Structure 1
């Protein structure tokens, strides 16, 4: 049975032993949610979080339609091979698409102009628009495999430019401030060490435990990508692991009740620990993953060496860190040379 640990979701068993799910948040009317195994669960939850009506799709799904294609794609090895968190994100967006009027239209009639129009409707959320473009591309490739189309209408459609700087990468001052507040041996300090000195996502950090330790390294199988890594234990992390007390949870990070953290539960706790340490909003677990990559780049590591730690499948994001570090180094060298020339000119001026 799926265990749900989403904010405002309450579950209980009725008199017949069936588990029921409800969304309860102060200021909103209580909502009953579908069963956790129902594909529409995340759609209903997302609607409740935004205090909107749950989008309804037609009971009859026309054969060969967009909705039909999405439903079939859920059953493919491609979709089932995705990580759990990726499946949840994709399902939530796909179910929104299935609730739209165009979901009943034939896939065979879709044109590039239609794709551009649908992306334009998401202009207020470039990230969502680009994710939709990626999903449309995967769906259209599957439609070609089914023989429903001969071409992919997403080919040539440009991604929406994102001007956001992305998730905040922790600075060294912020890391030091957190460490000064949370002493060595505390749970919050261990959490930071696991994130910073392994460079992993929170979904992987919460699963790490003593059984993953081998010959001075931590074995990691990433939830999102499936990548299998062997990460040497940094001396700072070794100190925190040496102070760790086993409560029987099987993981290094556990709740006060001695249970492994859920991914969302850990995130909420970590944000609270940051706030208690006086750190600004935006300091998140993923920001420590970015800080880890930055520090590795500053240490002179190549993109491939950094990827061996972080598990990135593409090197484009890592290259941004190495380029930034190289630019700072070159700029520093240039200024020092300019300063030396200035001093030389002064010396020459004194002689003449």
Structure 2
């Protein structure tokens, strides 16, 4: 039997069209009041409930032991991780923030007084992270410290004269690794030799131009007629993308009556973004004559195809995003210019 009397859980009922009602379940404890997915009995409901209870219990323990710990950096981090602001973040963002705090910051700064940490300490942690991992990971350290102290200021946990210790710290410049744009010939070669399920991935990436996180969360219910509806994970923006005839033809062929995730692996299971990138990498590596190409390169190819079709910058960036458009066109134009130059050499040779 499914429990519906869980502590700190309550239900709101909303009247829908006709005489039907829909139940919305929520969690409320210690000032936190947020929605729960689904209903009691659903795995996602109980996973989220367990997470919220663990966080609330942790905060209660922190508050109970706030005596000697009250001014430590650990205290500040624990308060933030149990805050309403943190709970309101997307789950992926929560995981990223928690990982940075627990793996990079607490082992070094945990015992220190949070109101005595200065820029030199933050830079030392950032630089050590850059040496051991990457400039990108090191920058996350700086960003996380900045966010922690901004939140602490909002909560009146800092002296009035305190200056955010991450302020003014510049980002470490990393060597940029260019992402190769797939050519039409490379796309055709890949489609001719890849596993059938990867054709769906390739065509979706190419004709919607979406990030890998948006591809793996794409649901059959979002494909309605000649429109693909997407809510981007990174920006939260809803998009209505016209379905290219070739993509529409393929989706009609592979669509099932069961619904759910559009992209599924060879065993029919939904995938994570990392797993999808890995499978593309492995498939590319196995095809003779295929150069190294990434899933993100298909997103760049989408931008290049839209430009070649005569779309305006506004039209392209409405789907791809401005920065992705700039980088994609930079690499695509370089390739086209090089090919044009070699054709001229051939004509005058």
Give me the TM-score of the superposition, normalised by structure 2. Answer: 0.67
User: Is the CA contact 1:178–1:279 (under 8 Å) kept in the aligned structure 2?
Assistant: no
**Which has the larger helix fraction?**
2
Unaligned runs of 5+ in 1: 1-35, 41-58, 343-352
Match of 1:158 among 155, 167, 170: 170
Q: Distance in 1 between matches of 2:53 and 2:243?
A: 40
Residue pairs, 1:1-352, within 5 angstroms: 37=51, 62-124=69-131, 125-147=134-156, 148-149=158-159, 150-165=162-177, 167-182=179-194, 186-246=196-256, 248-278=258-288, 283-310=293-320, 312=321, 315-323=322-330
User: Is the CA contact 2:197–2:265 (under 8 Å) kept in the aligned structure 1?
Assistant: no
Distance 1:319 1:189, change over 3 A: same
Match of 1:27 in 2: none
Distance 1:320 1:287, change over 3 A: closer
Deviations 1:200-228 (A, max 9, x none): 12222123233112341111112333221
Q: CA deviation at 1:177?
A: 1.6
Unaligned runs of 5+ in 2: 1-49, 55-64
User: Is the CA contact 1:194–1:205 (under 8 Å) kept in the aligned structure 2?
Assistant: yes
Q: Distance in 1 between matches of 2:267 and 2:93?
A: 29
Distance 1:131 1:173, change over 3 A: farther
Distance 1:98 1:327, change over 3 A: closer
Distance 1:336 1:292, change over 3 A: closer
Deviations 1:124-147 (A, max 9, x none): 311111121221221121122122
Q: CA deviation at 1:70?
A: 1.9
SS at the partner of 1:229? strand
What is the CA RMSD across the aligned residues, in angstroms? 3.8
SS at the partner of 1:219? strand
Q: Distance in 2 between matches of 1:253 and 1:38?
A: 30
After TM superposition, the structure 1 stretch with the greater mean CA deviation from structure 2, 97-106 or 163-172, is 163-172
Query: What is the aligned residue count?
Result: 284
Q: CA deviation at 1:198?
A: 1.0
Deviations 1:287-339 (A, max 9, x none): 322332333344454443223113x3xx33432334556678899999999xx
Give me the TM-score of the superposition, normalised by structure 1. Answer: 0.67
SS at the partner of 2:293? coil
